[in-house]
Amino acid sequence: MDFGFIIQSLPLYWKAAQLTLTISVWAIGLSLLLGFFCSLILYFQVPVLSLIVKIYIEISRNTPSLIQLFFLYYGLTQIGLKLEAELCAVAGLTFLGGSYMAEAFRSGLEAVGKTQIESGLSIGLSRSQLVRYVIFPQAFSVSMPALEANAIFLIKETSIVSAVALPDLMFIAKDLIGMYYSTKEALTLLVLFYLILLLPVSLLLTALERKVRYGQFGN
Amino acid sequence: MKKTGRILAAVLAVVLALGTLAGCSQKSAQQSSLETIKKNGKIKVGVFSDKPPFGYVDAQGKNQGFDVYIAKRFAKDLLGDESKVEFVLVEAASRVEYLQSGKVDLIMANFTVTDERKEKVDFANPYMKVALGIVSPDGSQITDVSQLKGKKLIVNKGTTAETYFTKNYPDIELLKYDQNTEAFQALKDGRGAALAHDNTLLFAWARENSGYTVGVSSLGEQDTIAPAVKKGDKELLDWVNNELTALEKEKFIHEAYDAALKPAYGDSVSADDVVIEGGKIQ
């Protein structure tokens, strides 16, 4: 191990980690939003839209994310649409994450018992009250673990954006290997930085889960 | 929080152990390489898949190109048949690792000799000359490096072009890609103002792609390209050097030039600007 080299490369990795994090935050936020709306469309069986959502989910979940990214970056330019690499990365990961988030939300929504809804209706709750006070709180608590897993999945999935010349963690590691051939140091730093990034997120999400699911865990 | 601390400690321990393991695996491969190659009846050679006319895969899925042409001859003279070569496709940035980890015996992926690389692998004598060049669209041609200030320059990761610009022009913003095909596609999509690479490659590419010109045809020092073996593999190194000397008599590298490079260059380049016979610059 060349520790001088490691210390020298730390700033590069730090900068790359920030990019990885920025892309992750955008991608997770937007996929939550997209997934949420898609799940509502599926749950309330909105005509036409729910068919579109179903097709979207199948396409998104059954094509590799790297290929989705390549399509956005290299494919769209063929029809004259040139998107910046950052935009491609966020759009690509949102496209991927949205479907996973939608399925996570949907499983939560469907887990809310029929009796709950009927009881709500019988005491005269309006449809929107029913959604706000009965369905969502319970659905969200059930979806929580799956949403967390998806968030972490998306952070890890950002490692593909180096393919479109974005200097994220993976990119820096490969670049250092290519230029200075210090494979050991570059790869060890790569693993460490992903851990530094993901461990706190993981712990934070677990804490959040306990809070959201106090019904199960107790206060 | 006590539990969290313990988990963190365990994870760190595992990472450190992995790092140490990776460090250990380097010493093991000093046995006779030539004998192993002969026993296996094949030599594994790392070549490019996307750097025509030097190393590429043709429509039939066969490896073709200048480097491949020479590698096949090596196999014929070493093992008696040119089909006894197994081509392994490499990326520019992974060439050293392929040798170090023993995935290939020989790298013939248009590998420019540099001091940094010499520390990690052993180069045989050269068979080709090369310098850097810059290709750009005709409309906004780059004819001097100074024109690149404030613009994006496309390079391929792990190439001499990347190292050269990182060292000498740190203020030019580089867009770095893993594959040649991606880098050239990015140039065509207008993601950078120009692309820097080996001039020998750019001449061929610009001839194929109208609308692009090699505005800067020679940059930096004149370098050489040579086969590379794993550090310390003296047997194979000596064999390759002797082979190159032997091939000089029949001007074999010129033959390879005529077969693989001439169709791509036409008369725009003279063979002696590129070819090195017998492993020595005349």
Residue A44 confidence class, pLDDT cut points 50, 70, 90: confident
Residue B30 has pLDDT above 60, yes or no: no
What CATH number does residue B78 fall under?
Answer: 3.40.190.10
DSSP label at B107?
E
- In this structure, the answer to whether residues B74 and B190 fall within a common structural domain is no
Put simply, the answer to whether B97 touches A177 (Cβ < 8 Å) is yes
- If you average pLDDT over residues A141-168, what whole number do you get? 93
Is residue B7 pLDDT above 80, yes or no? Answer: no
Q: In what order do the strands lie in the sheet with B152-156?
A: B173-177, B152-156, B194-198, B128-137, B212-225
Same-domain check for residues B209 and B230: no
> Which is it for strands B121-123 and B228-230: parallel, antiparallel or unpaired?
antiparallel
Whether residues B136 and B254 share a domain: the answer is no
Q: Above pLDDT 70, what percent of chain B?
A: 89
For chain B, how many structural domains are there in total? 2
> What is the Cα B164 distance to its own chain's centre?
15
Question: For the residues A20-46, what does the mean pLDDT come to?
Answer: 95
Residue B3, pLDDT > 80, answer: no
**Does the residue B262 lie in any domain?**
yes
Per-residue confidence (pLDDT) for residue B266, from 0 to 100: 86
Chain A 159-198, residues with CB within 8 Å of chain B CB atoms: 162-163, 165, 167, 171, 174-175, 177-181, 183-184, 187-188, 191-192, 195
Measure CB to CB from residue B23 to each of A163, A179, A184 and give the nearest one. Answer: A184
Give yes or no: residues B230 and B106 share one domain: yes
Are B198 and B273 a contacting pair, CB within 8 Å? no
d(CA B58, CA B69): 13
Q: Please give the pLDDT value at position B29.
A: 46
pLDDT at residue B25 in the model: 47
Going by pLDDT thresholds of 50, 70 and 90, the confidence category of residue B12 is low
pLDDT in tens, B51-65: 999 999 999 999 999
- Amino acid B225 reads I
| CB-neighbour burial class of residue A16 (10 A; exposed 0-12, middle 13-18, buried 19+) | buried
Report the b/e string of B69-84 with b at 16+ CB within 10 A: bbbbbbbeebbeeeeb
- The predicted model gives A21-35 an average pLDDT of 97
> What pLDDT does B21 receive?
56
User: Residue A215 pLDDT > 80, yes or no?
Assistant: no
Is residue B26 a part of any domain in this protein? no
What integer pLDDT is reported at residue B27 of this predicted model? 43
CA B135 to chain centre: 19
- Whether B22 has a pLDDT exceeding 60, the answer reads no
In chain A, the N- to C-terminal Cα span, in Å, equals: 47
d(CA B93, CA B95): 6
Closest residue on chain B to A76 (Cα)? B189
Helix axes B234-248, B33-40, angle to 10 degrees: 70
- Same structural domain, B39 and B92: yes
Confidence of residue B211 (pLDDT cuts 50, 70, 90): very high
Q: pLDDT at position B28, please?
A: 44
- pLDDT reading at A217 higher than 80: no
If asked whether residues B105 and B240 sit together in one domain, one would say yes
B183-208: average pLDDT: 95
**Residue B88 in domain:** yes
Residue B13 contacts A, CB cutoff 8 Å: no
3-class secondary structure, B144: coil
User: What are residue B41's phi and psi, to 5 degrees?
Assistant: 70, 15
For residue B264, pLDDT over 80 is answered with yes
Mark whether B137 and B173 lie in a shared domain.
Answer: yes
Q: Which of B243, B165, B155, B217 is nearest to B191 (CA)?
A: B155
Q: Which of B15, B120, B157 sits opposite A195 (nearest CB)?
A: B15
Q: Which of A199, A195, A162, A157 is nearest to A177 (CA)?
A: A162
The reply to whether B7 falls in a domain is no
Question: Above 0.85 for ipTM, yes or no?
Answer: no
pLDDT tens digits for range A88-97: 999 999 999 9
Angle (CA) B51 B57 B58, round 5°: 115
Is the pLDDT higher at B271 or at B13?
Answer: B271
Task: Give the dihedral sign, CA B166/B172/B173/B178.
Answer: negative
Instruction: Say whether A174 and B185 touch across the interface (CB within 8 A).
Output: no
H and E: helices and strands count for chain B: 12, 13
> Which one is predicted more confidently, B183 or B30?
B183
Summary mean pLDDT of chain A: 92
Domain boundary among B199, B223, B247: B223
Point out the domain boundary residue: B184, B206, B223. Answer: B223
Round the average pLDDT of chain B to a whole number and report it: 89
| Percent of chain A predicted with pLDDT > 70 | 98
Residue B13 lies in a domain: no
Max CA pair span of chain A: 71
CA distances from A23 to A13, A54, A152 (A): 15, 26, 13
C-alpha A35/C-alpha A140 separation (Å) is 13
B79 domain residue, yes or no: yes
CA gap A128, A135 in Å, rounded? 10
Q: Is the pLDDT of residue B149 over 80?
A: yes
Same domain, B102 and B61: yes
Question: Among all residues of chain B, which has the CA nearest to that of A177?
Answer: B93
Residue B109 shares a structural domain with residue B244? yes
Maximum Cα–Cα distance across chain B: 75
The residue with greater pLDDT, B16 or A213, is A213
Report the pLDDT averaged over residues A13-29.
96
Beta carbons of A158 and A27 less than 8 angstroms apart: yes
Decide if pLDDT at A164 tops 50.
yes
The answer to whether B13 and B34 are in contact (CB under 8 A) is no
Closest CB to B157: pick one of A1, A82, A178: A178
* Rounded Cα–Cα distance for residues B196 and A17 (Å): 28
Reply yes or no on whether the pLDDT at B11 is more than 80.
no
Domain final residue, candidates B223, B240, B257: B223
Do B215 and B231 belong to one domain?
A: no
Task: Write the single-letter amino acid at B233.
Answer: D
Q: Say yes or no: B105 and B230 in one domain.
A: yes
Secondary structure (3-state) at A205: helix
Does residue B196 form part of some domain? yes
**B12 within a domain of the structure (yes/no):** no
Average of per-residue pLDDT across B6-30: 58
Terminal C-alpha separation, chain B: 71
Could you tell me the pLDDT band of residue B26, with boundaries at 50, 70 and 90?
very low
pLDDT at A119 over 50: yes
pTM: 0.82
pLDDT tens by residue, B220-263: 889 999 999 999 999 999 999 999 999 999 999 999 999 999 99
In 3-state terms, what secondary structure has residue A101? helix
Q: Residue B217: give the domain boundaries.
A: 131-223
Do B161 and B215 lie in one domain? The reply is yes
Please list every residue in chain A whose beta carbon sits closer than 8 Å to the beta carbon of residue B162.
175, 178-179
Indicate the range of A68-77, B28-37, B254-263 predicted with least confidence.
B28-37
Which two three-digit tokens encode residue B70? Answer: 């020479």
CA–CA distance, A138 with A100 (Å, rounded to integer) = 19
CB pairs under 8 A between A and B: 73
Give dist(CA A146, CA A128) in Å, integer. 25
Cis, peptide link before residue B53, omega less than 30° from 0: yes
